[in-house]
Chains A and B, each alone.
With several copies, the nearest count.
Chain A
């Protein structure tokens, strides 16, 4: 039996639009991305997004076993989204559940349009998203980190995939849904896009929205993706600057 059952708060948002965690409706939580923190993986990224802590890593292109799963004309992109048992209030049983199987598919499809898979026929590219600490929005944070890890692995891509959520609390649309809003809010929309091409690659929603609210929410999410996109590019830049500095340092020694 679980001892960590949470109770719903009295209200999720103030009359003046202050959300339960103190944010304004269009305010995101702090996001920090670090590139290349794993040694073995071909590419990796670590993201802190609100209370989320997520590792993403990429292996490939590499041989695919069993061979009959390989495709003659392109690389097979595979993705595993996984929550650690200690990433949630009540311990999560290890291993895939229905939710994580769906999210693995959704994240894979969000990333796929960004990649030139036809350059590596017969191979696989494996993306692993490991949620160490969850705090609402793991799928968008995971997608964001995974795209950076793909770039870090040097996989040829059209551009980075950036993602964010928008929710509804009563009549208010709120950007970057927080933990309580995720639990007791009225709607939740996740979106990812190739910002450079204005292409949406992931769109999921539950709860209820009027068609008008829906269109508005999509707009808000797209704007936020542009900010996330900047953070992604900056994180990649920082890693390369660090490498350059190290090489320069070595040379100068």
Chain B
């Protein structure tokens, strides 16, 4: 019988990982410090009933994002803007350390960082998601965009996998045309679909610090060994659009280096997203 909710890496293994990174600039799975694991993005795979979806494999980490559409009231302080809501669900089947129940602080942080990247980059053009009342703008409705990201298998770097799945799902989302009549009734045309309007592709690059070395895309073991981590989100206009440190500390010089790494590596990830979207559209 194995113990529940516990993952123990031997001290010896920890030392080994630190040593080879320090001395050989090589990682336990053979990667170079700045290499991602194999990335697979499958958009519109028919795994969900979402209006958009993407399944991402990042090495052994797997996440599935689905987008559902609904119609509702705008927030009172932004009446001309659609609503985007991002949730992350760490399914208990994804890891022996995940428990059923409402999202914990890690899941909430994950979702909020994904959300901030999308929102800051204005990846979804929320201004285009208003359903106007014919005469009274005070009765306008808006599209509600629910982005739900499910963690299916956890082998580290959930942040970048989630950001990839999130943006790929949004970019392949179609929304039904909805109109409002004079008396406020909504008529949805489920046959007439249009793509969700998007304007940017934010992707996140997570960098871990092990000893003096910065590595990208840490796997679960590396996360546990790392002294600190930082997620830097960059979009296809080369703008940094979200940052989140995840414990530990960085020197100013390390931070500068991390920013440079993120701007470079983000380009690879953006290409992966573009290719996945193209493939999904080709199959449509």
CB of B20 within 8 Å of the partner chain: no
* 5 examples of A-B residue contacts, CB within 8 angstroms: A120-B1, A200-B255, A208-B241, A214-B240, A215-B259
Q: In the complex the two chains form, what is the Cα distance from A84 to B87 in whole Å?
A: 11
Residues of B within 8 A of A (CB): 1-5, 46-50, 53, 60, 62, 64, 66-72, 76-77, 87, 89, 91-96, 100, 102, 105-106, 108-109, 111-112, 116, 119-121, 146, 148, 150, 152-155, 176, 178, 186, 188, 190, 230, 235, 238-252, 255-256, 259-260, 263
Q: How far is the CB of B220 from chain A (nearest CB, A)?
A: 9
A44-B93, A59-B96, A86-B50 are known contacts. Are A211 and B263 too (CB-CB below 8 A)?
Answer: yes
User: Quick check: A91 and B70 within 8 Å, CB to CB?
Assistant: yes
The interface residues of chain A lying within 8 Å CB-to-CB of B93 are 38, 40-41, 44, 55-57, 59, 128, 130
Chain A contact residues: over half helix, strand or loop, or mixed? mixed
Q: How far is the CB of B93 from chain A (nearest CB, A)?
A: 4
User: Quick check: A200 and B96 within 8 Å, CB to CB?
Assistant: no
B178 — nearest CB in chain A belongs to which residue? A3
Q: How far is the CB of B127 from chain A (nearest CB, A)?
A: 15
CB of A231 within 8 Å of the partner chain: no
Can you add 19 more A-B contacts, CB < 8 Å, to A41-B93, A206-B242? Answer: A3-B71, A3-B178, A38-B152, A62-B96, A82-B91, A85-B66, A98-B112, A99-B112, A105-B105, A105-B109, A109-B245, A128-B93, A198-B251, A199-B250, A200-B249, A200-B250, A204-B243, A206-B116, A215-B256
Q: How far is the CB of A198 from chain B (nearest CB, A)?
A: 6
Residue in contact with B148 in the complex, picked from A86, A200, A208, A219, CB distance below 8 Å = A86
Q: How far is the CB of B227 from chain A (nearest CB, A)?
A: 9
Q: In the complex the two chains form, what is the Cα distance from A59 to B2 in whole Å?
A: 10
A61-B1, A109-B245, A112-B247 are known contacts. Are A208 and B120 too (CB-CB below 8 A)?
Answer: yes
User: Quick check: A38 and B108 within 8 Å, CB to CB?
Assistant: no
The interface residues of chain B lying within 8 Å CB-to-CB of A41 are 93, 153
Chain B contact residues: over half helix, strand or loop, or mixed? mixed
Q: How far is the CB of A63 from chain B (nearest CB, A)?
A: 4
The interface residues of chain B lying within 8 Å CB-to-CB of A2 are 70, 76-77
A84-B150, A109-B247 are known contacts. Are A203 and B121 too (CB-CB below 8 A)?
Answer: no
- Select the residue from A6, A99, A201, A205 with max chain B CB neighbours within 10 A: A205
A38 — nearest CB in chain B belongs to which residue? B153
CB of A244 within 8 Å of the partner chain: no
In order of increasing CB-CB distance, the 7 nearest A-B pairs are A86-B66, A57-B93, A91-B68, A86-B50, A205-B243, A3-B188, A128-B93
Residue in contact with B48 in the complex, picked from A82, A86, A219, CB distance below 8 Å = A86
CB of A251 within 8 Å of the partner chain: no
User: Quick check: B243 and A94 within 8 Å, CB to CB?
Assistant: no
A84-B148, A88-B49 are known contacts. Are A208 and B255 too (CB-CB below 8 A)?
Answer: no
A62 — nearest CB in chain B belongs to which residue? B4
User: Quick check: B246 and A109 within 8 Å, CB to CB?
Assistant: yes
The interface residues of chain A lying within 8 Å CB-to-CB of B87 are 85, 94
Q: How far is the CB of A64 from chain B (nearest CB, A)?
A: 7
User: Quick check: B260 and A199 within 8 Å, CB to CB?
Assistant: no
Q: In the complex the two chains form, what is the Cα distance from A164 to B38 in whole Å?
A: 38
